[in-house]
Amino acid sequence: MTTPSTDLPSSPPLAAAPGAGPRRFGSLGPVGLVLAGGVSVQFGAALAVTLMPRAGALGVVTLRLLAAAIVLLVVCRPRLRGHSRTDWGTVVVFGLTMAAMNGLFYQAVDRIPLGPAVTLEVLGPLTLSVLASRRAVNVVWAGLALVGVFLLGGGNFGGLDPLGVAFALAAGAMWAAYIVFSARTGRRFPQADGLALAMAVGALAFLPFGVVGSGIRLLDPVTVGLGAGVAVLSSVLPYTLELLALRRLPASTFAILMSLEPGIAALAGFLILDQALSALQALAIALVIVASMGAVRTQVGRGKATLDSAVS
């Protein structure tokens, strides 16, 4: 898979309110943005698991997408005019990709534990990192991260629900597509305007599935409130941070940084879902951290000056 985001330009100056948020986020540096987004999305996923008995997997996704779309549209107030047909095509595909990625992932965690689900899902970005990279050393880093990913799953996924595994792998494919179209959207729209529009597309596309799957449970005030919390943690914050990061971070490096997600998910599972970490899981987390940092250092070696402050 070839992606234009390997030579992304530096992000343009970010305006003040309502764009003051992106300006503050941008001060973290691209690597910091990705890591902050990873923490937010995995703790949001853990919260979503606790919400599933109330609304079901499809209902949680629907609430998450709808609440995120409303928040982003209100905050960003994106312009609807002045965009080309290609711009709108990119936004629509990005929105459908987000809807598919979320729907498939929550179907997976409804059947298998959070840690293994994210472990399998991250194979999509890892594959992208190998295909997008032009240096052989990044294949080594991706391979090391892949070893850590499988160790985090205990080296054996045979005891998991096969349908849950299939959903997680499909979500990983959508995650790789999300990386590509997030980068393209970030280049075509200012601030997080493209993200807001894409989230609205995804929410509208997924709404029928939620209505059929959950019905009136979507109208319960407590469920709606919890769904809004999931939306902020799992969609609004991480997608905004990642979109900003992809304006300055090569896709191959970004994809390998995604290999940190299983470790973050394991931590979220431990703190929120009482899922303990084993010594093997700790070793796996160390491996993916080494792989991720190695990938960042490789990009710095290629003269990606925009990463200097993030890794020094």
- The answer to whether 263 touches 288, Cβ cutoff 8 Å, is yes
Tokens of residue 183, six digits: 């980068």
Radius of gyration over alpha carbons of the chain, in Å? Answer: 18
- The answer to whether 177 touches 97, Cβ cutoff 8 Å, is yes
Cα torsion through 87, 93, 96, 100, rounded to 10:
-140
Model confidence pTM above 0.75:
no
Q: Is the dihedral of CA 281, 286, 288, 289 positive or negative?
A: positive
> How deeply is 19 buried, as exposed, middle or buried, from its count of CB atoms within 10 A (0-12, 13-18, 19+)?
middle
- The answer to whether 275 touches 114, Cβ cutoff 8 Å, is yes
- pLDDT of 18 reads 36
Tokens of residue 211, six digits: 């209505």
The pLDDT profile of the chain, 312 residues, written as one tens digit per residue, is 333 333 333 333 323 333 444 444 444 578 888 888 888 888 888 888 888 888 888 998 998 899 889 988 998 888 888 888 998 999 999 999 999 999 999 999 888 878 778 878 877 877 776 776 667 777 787 788 778 777 766 665 566 788 988 999 999 999 889 888 988 888 888 877 888 999 999 999 999 998 988 888 888 888 888 888 888 888 788 877 877 787 777 766 776 676 677 778 877 877 777 766 677 767 877 787 777 767 666 655 554 433 333 333
∠ CA 255-178-71, rounded to 5°: 115
> How deeply is 274 buried, as exposed, middle or buried, from its count of CB atoms within 10 A (0-12, 13-18, 19+)?
exposed
* Cα–Cα distance for residue pair 250/259, rounded to 1 Å: 15
279-301 vs 261-273: helix crossing angle, rounded to 10:
140
- pLDDT of 251 reads 65
- Phi, psi for 49 (deg, rounded to 5): -60, -40
- pLDDT of 42 reads 83
- The answer to whether 35 touches 258, Cβ cutoff 8 Å, is no
What is the DSSP code string of 67-94?
A: HHHHHHHHHH----SS--HHHHHHHHHH
- pLDDT of 299 reads 58
